[in-house]
Amino acid sequence: MRHPGARARLASGERAQFSRPFKAELSGRITLILASLVLGSNFVPKQAHAQGIQTIEEVPVNWRMQIYAGIGFVFWNTPASCNGRLEATHLSQPEQDKLWSLVLTGKLSNHRVGIEYEVQGANCLVKSFYMQQP
């Protein structure tokens, strides 16, 4: 359905002419779309992040464990409030080894693990971890 202010293409090949209200409406919509694309990511939060220490307790069967060479590792697909991402890159190497072992053991044995993490902006940083008794 055409806008009432629009004219059809003429048989002679002339371009269609639009009324002023239609041009203003179209211009306003384009501006709104461009503004939401450019500014949207800065002003619309992807997911609310509660600040402070939070705890996860679950069997980590669906967690993806990914190592970044020279940096450390990250867990993905967790229930963490940072889009499911838990970082362990700030931990010492012995702490990273223990955490990796704990989560892998929980994954393979179907035991619940607990991880306390701190939300700092868009990052969830592991603070402590433990395994629940069966």
What does the pLDDT look like over 84-120, one tens digit per residue?
Answer: 999 999 999 999 999 999 999 999 999 999 999 999 9
Q: What is the reported pLDDT for 52? A: 83
Angle at CA 46, nearest 5°, toward 42 and 48?
105
| CATH ID of 52-131, from 2.160.20.60, 1.10.10.10, 1.20.1290.10, 2.40.50.50 | 2.40.50.50
> What is the C-alpha to C-alpha distance for residues 85 and 122, in angstroms, rounded to an integer?
10
Choose among 70, 88, 91: nearest CA to 78. 88
Q: Domains of the chain: which residue ranges?
A: 1-44, 52-131
Q: Percent of the chain beyond pLDDT 90?
A: 51
Is the pLDDT reported for residue 35 higher than 70?
no
pTM here is 0.59
